[in-house]
Structure 1
Amino acid sequence: MLRRVPSRLRRQLPPEHIPGAVARLGPDSRPDPYGLRGQAAILDGPGRAQRQAKRRGRQHTMAETRLIQSRYRLLDVIGRGGMGEVWRARDEALGRQVAVKCLKPVGPQPDRSFTGILRERFRREARVAAALQHRGVTVVHDFGEHEGVLYLVMELLDGRNLSQLLEDNGQRPLPVPDVVDIAEQVADALGYTHEQGIVHRDLKPANIMRLTDGTVKICDFGIARPGHDVGSASRLTSAGVAMGTPHYMSPEQISGGDVDHRSDLYSLGCVLYEIATGVPPFDLDDAWAVLVGHRDTRPEPLRSHRAELPGFLDRVVLDLLAKSPGERPTDAGDLRRRIRYGRTGDRPPEPGPTTRPTTRPPGLPSWTHAMTAGRRATGTVAAGLPLPDHSAGLTSEWTTGTDPRALPAVRGERPTPSPELLSTLADRHGTGLDLGRLGHWEEAGEVHRAVAAEREHALGPDHPDTLSSRYEVGFTLSRTGRADDALREFGRVVDGRERALGPDHPETLAARQETAYVLGQLGRHFEAHQMYAAVLASRERTMGRDHPDTLRCRHNLAFNLARLGRLEDSYRLAHEVADARTRLLGATHPDTLATRYEVAYTLGRLGRWEDALRTYREVAQARAASLGAGHPETLSARYEVGISLGRLGRGAEALELYRALVQDRTRVSGPADAETLRARHGLGVNLGRMARWEEAVGEARQVCAIRERTLGPDHPDTLVSRREIAVGLGWLGRWTEALTLYRQVADARTRVLGADHPDTLTGRNDEAHCLEQLGRRTEAVELYRQVAALRRQRGAPRP
């Protein structure tokens, strides 16, 4: 899973990019009654939107709550829609500026049912947005609830949306090279999001940002403006359509037809038409006439408005604006190739037989793509024009939600559960995900277990929603150290998904991949390798080598190969994945940096410490630039820099680095945090390398005491600290004290790990060495013999 990328010894949430400066808010070229315009990034100084609001005497929703969750300090409003506000804010923990989007209450006496729907969709929107990791999509950093108000924390972008660029240009079209570049970058971003099964459904100029460095990003996961009758024709021509904006809606959206990724391609065609010619394809004042134009009228060629446009761009945009989805480019990748060939003048390859991707109606879960969806619900019909089912898209969200109407197709004769029950269970499932995201794994597990039991009763054991809850149960078990239980749970999920979805379905493969990870946790690395290899073969066959999920699996396989001792194979595979991610995502993308981190780790294991040091430093610098110097992922890379320096004999540099790292870890996470203590352990080790053994023993004693109190006396980290004390005492010649500690460590490892575990044998070897130093040679020889026999019995090589 994307949110579960392995770091060196544990999985971690992927970090995000953070641009620096911000830009000024400017009005869109058209009314924006549907949501927030340019929500991710737009202000200067106190913000023009805020100054205008103050002049109108408006009260901001969260003006009295300037600090959210003791972390995000709201500064000024930079966008407002009917249901939400976007604030420029400062992340006090990391010292960076962000955009915070808040869901506002609906009127003085809001309809509870309607508000509940909006809140659930806002949560789903946050989860979907946070799962998208691409340089062409606005990054989501955080999500939560503060004093009853839901909020979403996003990157603050330095740039202008396309509507603002048109306005800046006096509503004249943009330069041709800019139009082509924007088209190519948006096609690339849409290709990624469509591969994730996500359809935007509200692509328009105001939702596409061009940053000052030329990067183009899709943004605005907007909140729709509510109406008392959001599905009626009256709302279509006044307050707005909840699922799209009239000037950029596809014919199938307008007619209530099945909407898939090709609807986004149509909307992109409308956007490109406008920035290339200065006007949208159907430039009419009446919204109804605009919709009819999309449905019935062929657009005029772009070069009838602007003769200097290249012919290939005219053809590409008109193809995007085809009335029938089947007549448009197959997908965003096809579109990008057409643009590239047109731009470079290269001859495209001869077309061969193609298979169009299977699509699914909006609002259905991903597992229905191979099923018959049944009778489609149609919207209200007025003046002979069927309208969309607006209740399916109240937030103009990127859609991956479930549709209860599809459930009976897989339940047979099971009684149909009420929509209220399904909605409640979905909400509780989301709560479990949020608890996990915040690190409350025990509580998350309790929530998911309860939801799984109720879903199994209501929907059946093999229903995708039931299995989704079971999947999360397994994940929480793996995060709380219960790997055996997690393995059993994932086994149930794999079996159920293979029966219901097939062995090559992405959700089946995701469960098998998590199973492989848990096998690695249990030290069963050969079995993990076999499963990773099988999953990878399936992903490459069904998705291609460069699909994000395929690359994630290749990353995990490289990680596991290192644990099998196949270091050269691990290095080669990790290097290939890093190169692929650099090419597809950019050199500073979180996934790219995670793999380069793994490359550096393998280099260290291979003894190539100079190369490891250089790579770790590059990762640390990139993370500091994008996340901040105090971000946990930056600090993790700095810790590895310290290890590399120590291995190279540069103890003084390592000591200086660890002193600074301890201060930063303490400030960010507290003095008793595991990572703070790990940094202090590194500090103690390097004090020893500098022969400052009294200080080293003192540091190790303090760390050991905290670990014993917080983790327990037999925890592996506690035992490592106790052994470090013994090492220092030995160097100080205090061998009797050292022997007592070495025996404690070896006895504890025997109890916890077994007598023949490699760590236990290392502890007994330390004990024998200590006996030898004390002149108790006979005892030492006997213990060395016992260790050697156990090693032979286990089949482990002598270190």
Structure 2
Amino acid sequence: MGDSTLIQGRYRLLERIGRGGMGEVWRARDESLGRRVAVKCLKPLGTGHDHSFTRVLRERFRREARVAAALQHRGVTVVHDFGESDGVLFLVMELLEGRDLSRLLEDNKHHPLPVPDVVDIGEQVASALAYTHEQGIVHRDLKPANIVRLADGTVKICDFGIARLGHDVGFTARLTGTGIAMGTPHYMSPEQIGGDDVDRRSDLYSLGCVLYEIATGVPPFDLDDAWAILVGHRDTEPEPPRTHRAELPAYLDRIILDLLAKRPDQRPDDARELGRRITAGRTAPAYAPAVPAPRTRMPEPVGGRAALPSWTHGMTTGHKATGTGLRSTPPDPAAGLSGEWIPRPAGDEAAAPAPAPDERPDPAPEEAAALAGRHSAGVNLGRLGRWEEALALHRAVAAERERLLGPDHPDTLASRYEVAFTLSRTGYAADALRAYKRVAEARIRVLGTDHADTLAVRQEMAYALGRLGRHADAHQVYTSVLAARERVMGADHPDTLRCRHNLAFNLGRLGRPEDAHRMAREVAAARARVLGPEHPDTLVTRYEVAYELSRLDRWQEALVTYREVAEARESALGPDHPDTLAARYEMGISLGRLGRSTEALALYQELIDDRTRAQGPEHPETLRARHGLGVNLGRLGRWEEALAESREVCAIRERVLGPDHPDTLVSRREVAVGLGWLGRWAAALTEYRRVAAARERVLGPDHPDTLAGRDDEAHCLEQLGRGAEAVELYRRVAVQRGAGAR
């Protein structure tokens, strides 16, 4: 085929824009509709195949093309038409005006992509894979060249259907007659290399390879010998991406390594779970460094190359994209958040024996013991903060216990409870709430409404409601559980006090700081009496007392309480423990609010050094301390220094957290404040507008933070002498506030 060829009297080929193992891609014009399209022409198979094989291939092509054409998702390339012309099979697809990831890396001189771009690409591809996998379609050849990013930022996966066709013909997991495999060794899953059946989790492994490369600049196994690459995928644990690029967020490092697990059952369950994990990490990054999980070491190959399937011998490397090598501390009270929810101790089940409702035979003792051991292992993984691994293990144990013991057996419900608990601690509050509800209904039915386990799961339901912002609903559940705990266990039982602490916290979120402060003081006194004045639970409640004092503008009392908590935590936990550092940070806020900015400045300087040593220079909490330093430099009138500090923190936050993250926007606003104090109002207006636009995009036009940003913008216009524009903007904000209040 050549330039100006007309296919089926309709599609005119204009320019070849790509060539691959199975054919060519042409820029073309649909003469019937007058639109630009892309036409992929598959290479003829040649004379080596008999007519019956060719006939079967054509039928499979038509079937797979119909499947591809039926896919309707913004992340999947649209297939318009398909057919055969002069013995050549072809697909007509939307013409993508963008660059594939291979080209993006090449244009970036083989440097990794910015972190926000990596996260955004991963999130969009996960969404597209979730959709296609739910349609029963596995791509089988996911690689940078098959992922295109359009000019508007939309990411699309190409070649669905083509990859499946290649598999049917025998390209994907075997050599062609030329000795070149379809698919590139750099992105093939271990099961694909072994010639085993592949499912959606093979695509997830390939996506892990892609994310690894665009995040670090090199594939996970960057070797020149194809066989060595295949052995690497099968037998060698990849180096963590952060060893190549320390600035990568810990959650992203963990996700990529989980995608690259050797066994499919060790990877995320599906692409939708992967998408949730990316979203949770992007919107609420973990403040504690991730604990590296031990990776399973696969058996060493025996007998050299013979350990791999024969089809891999002589395989070339092909093309790769480049050629070169929880617990969080409480956030700033100024943001309206404080303290922490207090979960029950992980694994504290106190399950009373109860008969299973069905008459299943008891499992063998060794089988029950093995499940109990795996259950405990999941609990311990949670204690170490390795929640994703804990979730996978608890799900597996729950399914096995349900099969052996029945859905309402206490052991099954204990595992279901742990699944919900782990979902809650990994940011999936809505999923956790649904799971808790099912466990609560079963426990009420089997154990009764006042059983300790029933109350425990209902209390966790309230926790999940709070995380979802449904504080009024959470209040009702906490109040009901507290009444039952006091009736059954007594007012001073640790579980009763835990419930009262959470109720106090929730009162604060309901805008009742006086009630929250009163109840928190009562709980702190009771915990000191029952558990001791320096017990971690006592100190957590005293921390909450201090926060409610700050909300009541009783800053001197808040400072004294925070200082006492910090000293006690340093004695019990050590000076570098996150809880100790969190209390010291709150001391700095209190000092600043009291006008003692010189003291606050000294405290923040020490805290930055300690945070950097303990958690790293780009950890979100280190940056939060640096933000506090900049604020107090401004309060002392040192605006040039304050502006420089704010700009640097803003740049790091934008790179690490993303341009629209709340912390980034807080820093950008601080840059604008500094510019304003230095009389540079035009530059300040630009920054204020960026903040307001981002908040409107993320939070909506009527959100209080968005409206506050518009107020800042109007004030800036006023300072620039643009009074009419300022008045109009003030009026618009007032109308929106009034509409929101109704």
Q: What is the DSSP-based 3-state SS (H/G/I as helix, E as strand, rest coil) of the residue aligned with 1:713?
A: coil
Gaps of 5+ in 2: 1-290, 297-343
For residues 528-563 of structure 1, give each alpha carbon's deviation from its aligned partner in whole angstroms, at most 9, with x where no partner exists.
Answer: 111111111111111111000111111111111111
C-alpha offsets along residues 542-598 of structure 1, whole Å, 9 cap, x if unaligned? 111100011111111111111111111111111111111122222222111111111
1:368 matched to 2:314? The reply is no
The partner residue of 1:581 within 527, 532, 548 is: 527
| Matched-pair contact (CA < 8 Å) for 1:411–1:459 | no
Asked whether 1:636 is paired with 2:636, we answer no
The match for 2:641 is: 695
- Per-residue deviation, residues 182-203 of structure 1 (Å, max 9, x unmatched): xxxxxxxxxxxxx99x9xxxxx
Q: Is contact 1:685–1:696 with CA below 8 Å preserved after alignment?
A: yes
Equivalent residues in 2 for 1:177-192, closer than 5 Å? none
Of the three residues 529, 541, 546, the one matched with 1:600 is 546
Where does residue 404 of structure 2 map in the other structure? Answer: 458
Q: Give 3-state SS (helix, strand or coil) of 1:668's partner.
A: helix
Structure 1 residue 562 corresponds to structure 2 residue 508: yes
* Pair 736,552 (structure 1): closer, same or farther in 2 beyond 3 Å: same
Which of 400, 415, 426 pairs up with 1:480? 426
Q: Which SS does the other structure have where 2:444 is aligned?
A: helix
Q: Deviations over 1:292-314 (max 9, x none)?
A: xxxxxxxxxxxxxxxxxxxxxxx
2:733 is aligned, of 762, 780, 787, to: 787
Distance 1:695 1:544, change over 3 A: same
- Candidates 603, 611, 629, aligned match of 1:657: 603
Partners of 1:704 and 1:365 lie apart in 2 by 45
Provide closer, same or farther for how the CA distance between residues 462 and 746 of structure 1 changes in structure 2, counting only shifts above 3 A: farther
* 2:618 paired residue number: 672
Counterpart contact for 1:646–1:686, Cα < 8 Å: yes
Residues 256-295 of structure 1 show CA distances to partners (whole Å, capped at 9, x for unaligned) of xxxxxxxxxxxxxxxxxxxxxxxxxxxxxxxxxxxxxxxx
Length, aligned pairs only = 405
Per-residue CA deviations over 1:46-65 (Å, capped at 9, x if unaligned) read xxxxxxxxxxxxxxxxxxxx
The residue type paired with residue 452 of structure 1 is A
Q: Which whole-Å CA distance do the structure 2 matches of 1:460 and 1:757 have between them?
A: 47
Q: Which residue of 2 aligns with 1:494?
A: 440
**CA distance in structure 2 between the aligned counterparts of 1:486 and 1:782, rounded to whole angstroms:** 45
Change (3 A) 1:525 1:738: same
1:655: how far off? 0.3
Q: Secondary structure at the match of 1:368?
A: coil
Within a 5 Å distance, the mapping from 1:122-161 to structure 2 comes to none
Distance 1:368 1:506, change over 3 A: closer
Separation of aligned partners in 2, 1:600 and 1:641? 10
CA contact (8 A) 1:586 1:592 kept: yes
Q: Does 1:683 align with 2:683?
A: no
**1:441, 1:479 within 8 Å by CA — same for their partners in 2?**
yes
Tell me how far 1:600 sits from its aligned partner. 0.8
Cα deviation for residue 646 of structure 1 reads 0.4
Q: Work out the CA distance in 2 between the residues paired with 1:605 and 1:617.
A: 17
| Alpha-carbon distance, 1:718 to partner | 1.9
Change (3 A) 1:704 1:427: farther
Cα contact 2:358–2:406 (8 A) shared by 1? no
Alignment-mate amino acid for residue 640 of structure 2? E
- TM-score, normalised relative to structure 1: 0.48
Shift of 1:146: 10
The match for 2:199 is none
Q: Secondary structure at the match of 1:553?
A: helix
Offset of 1:451 from its aligned partner?
A: 2.9
Partner-residue secondary structure (3-state), 2:618: coil
Relative distance call for 1:732 and 1:425 in structure 2 (3 A) is farther
Mark the CA change 1:676 to 1:613 in structure 2 (over 3 Å): closer, same or farther: same
Report the CA distance between 1:726 and its aligned residue: 1.8
In the alignment, the residues of structure 1 paired with residue 465 and residue 357 of structure 2 have an alpha-carbon distance, to the nearest angstrom, of 32
- Partner Cα separation in structure 2 for residue 750 and residue 425 of structure 1: 50
Specify the SS of the correspondent of 2:534: coil
SS at match of 1:481: coil
Counterpart in the other structure of 1:748? 694
Tell me which amino acid in the other structure corresponds to 2:503: L
- Aligned-pair distance for 1:723? 1.8
Q: Which of 708, 720, 725 is 1:774 aligned to?
A: 720
Q: Which amino acid aligns with 1:368?
A: A
User: Which residues in structure 2 correspond to 1:244-263 (within 5 Å)?
Assistant: none
The match for 2:658 is: 712
> Which residue does the alignment assign to 2:369?
423
Q: Which residue of 1 aligns with 2:450?
A: 504
Asked if residue 739 in structure 1 is aligned to residue 685 in structure 2, the reply is yes
Aligned pair in 2 of structure 1 residues 515, 627: CA closer, same or farther (>3 Å)?
same
Report the RMSD for the aligned CA atoms in angstroms: 2.9
Partner in structure 1 of residue 385 of structure 2: 439
Provide the secondary structure at the position in 2 that maps to 1:367. Answer: coil
Contact persistence 2:711–2:730 (CA under 8 A): yes
Matched, 1:761 2:707: yes
CA-CA distance at 1:703 after TM superposition: 2.0
Question: Retained in 1: the 8 A contact 2:356–2:406?
Answer: no
Taking the aligned partners of 1:474 and 1:705, their CA distance within structure 2 comes to 37
Is the CA contact 1:756–1:790 (under 8 Å) kept in the aligned structure 2?
yes
Residue type matched to 1:623 in 2?
R
Aligned AA (1:720): V
> Does residue 416 of structure 2 align to residue 470 of structure 1?
yes
- How far apart, in 2, do the equivalents of 1:145 and 1:760 lie? 40
In structure 2, do the counterparts of structure 1 residues 494 and 790 end up closer, same or farther at CA, with 3 Å as the change threshold? farther
CA distance in structure 2 between the partners assigned to 1:146 and 1:504 by the alignment: 40
In 1, Cα distance between the equivalents of 2:706 and 2:411? 44
Q: CA deviation at 1:786?
A: 2.6
Q: Which piece of structure 1 moves more, 765-774 or 580-589?
A: 765-774
Deviation at 1:365, TM superposition (A): 7.6
> Which residue is equivalent to 1:392?
none
Gap regions ≥5 residues in structure 1: 1-142, 149-194, 199-363, 372-408
8 Å CA contact retained: 1:701, 1:722: yes
TM-score normalised by structure 2 residue count: 0.51
The 3-state SS of whatever aligns with 1:743 is: helix
Residues in 2 aligned to 1:553 and 1:365: alpha-carbon distance in whole angstroms: 16
Amino acid paired to 2:647? R
Shift of 1:440: 2.5
Alignment partners' CA distance in 1, 2:295 and 2:433: 38
**Cα distance in 2 between the residues matched to 1:632 and 1:416:** 46
CA offsets per residue over residues 25-61 of structure 1, 9 Å max, x none?
xxxxxxxxxxxxxxxxxxxxxxxxxxxxxxxxxxxxx
How far is the alpha carbon of 1:468 from its aligned partner? 2.4
Contact 2:520 2:541 in 1 (8 A): yes
Q: Secondary structure at the match of 2:352?
A: helix
1:147 Cα deviation (Å)? Answer: 13
SS at the partner of 2:518?
helix
State the secondary structure of the residue aligned to 1:410. coil
Aligned partner letter, 2:351: W
Query: Is the contact between residue 367 and residue 501 of structure 1 (CA under 8 Å) also seen in structure 2?
Result: no
Q: Is residue 534 of structure 1 aligned with residue 480 of structure 2?
A: yes
Letter aligned with residue 654 of structure 1: A
- Deviations along 1:322-355, one digit per CA (max 9) or x if unpaired, are xxxxxxxxxxxxxxxxxxxxxxxxxxxxxxxxxx
Higher-RCO chain (CA-CA 8 Å, sequence separation at least 6):
1
The 3 A distance-change label for structure 1 pair 736 and 145 is closer
Give the CA deviation at 1:638: 0.7
